[in-house]
Amino acid sequence: KSGRWAEAVPSVRAPEREGGLQACRRCTLWRDATQAVPGEGPMGARLMLVGEQPGDQEDLAGRAFVGPAGQVLDRALAEAGIVRSDCYVTNAVKHFKFTPRGKRRIHQKPDAGEVEHCRWWLEEEVAAVRPRLIVALGATAGRALLRREVAVQRERGAVLRLEEGRSMLLTVHPSFLLRLPDPAAKAAEYDRFVTDLRLATSFAM
């Protein structure tokens, strides 16, 4: 069964059942965001990809990883031989956190409390999708899943065990690749990212 998780999973717990993700008031990020951005993909997907939070374009579109970071992710997934629509793609935090600057909205990293509040939704998704492997894209996703601080460059590329007996692989966030100014470093880091995704798919298949 394929679909957007907010609609696809009927078994959310009591208070949330009333309004679902769009009615979430667990933290205050809903106030400035356009909407909550749910995860998307098949229930039973072998791979689950977890980002940080929706960006500007995701907030407007209501879909995860459709902006510039999503384009990098799409290219890297294709190079790793992974079909994105076979994966469940979501974020650790479901609302866009930003500060306005003129007409632009500048991304703000979610704080530990926001990540902790939103973990409720992530756990629901993991329980519903039951992936073989969860790929944490960057430190925020890693922190949400491991429930501790993570050092991405030190811990990346290895399969880690989660408390609930699930498996996770930590790698960089695609936005990190976009921010690297040096073209050679960018190309090398991109190749490492694709290598991590190849490892993920070999583990999950």
How many angstroms separate the CA atoms of 165 and 180, rounded?
A: 35
Shortest gap between Cβ of 45 and ligand URA (angstroms)?
16
Token output for 55: 């960006």
Contacts of 75 (CB under 8 A, 6+ apart): none
* Residues 169 to 198 in contact with ligand URA, rule: CB under 6 A: 175
Residue 40 found at the interface with ligand URA (CB under 6 A):
no
Residue 55 found at the interface with ligand URA (CB under 6 A):
yes
Contacts of 203 (CB under 8 A, 6+ apart): 132, 133, 159, 167, 169
Q: Which of 5, 27, 40, 53 binds ligand URA (CB under 6 A)?
A: 53
For ligand URA, how many residues bind (rule: CB under 6 A)?
13
Residue 59 found at the interface with ligand URA (CB under 6 A):
no
Tokens 């694709």 identify what position? Answer: 194
Residue 64 or 197 having the CB closest to ligand URA: 64
Residue 65 or 98 having the CB closest to ligand URA: 65
Q: Using the CB atoms, write b or e for 77-103: b if 16+ within 10 Å.
A: beebebebeebbbbbbbbbbbbeeeee
Shortest gap between Cβ of 14 and ligand URA (angstroms)?
28
Q: Which of 39, 51, 131, 142 binds ligand URA (CB under 6 A)?
A: 51
How many angstroms separate the CA atoms of 88 and 41, rounded?
A: 4
Nearest partner of 32 among 133, 110, 122, judged by Cα: 110
Residue 201 found at the interface with ligand URA (CB under 6 A):
no
Q: Which of 40, 41, 91, 171 binds ligand URA (CB under 6 A)?
A: 91
> What is the binding site for ligand URA (CB under 6 A)?
51-55, 58, 64-65, 67, 69-70, 91, 175
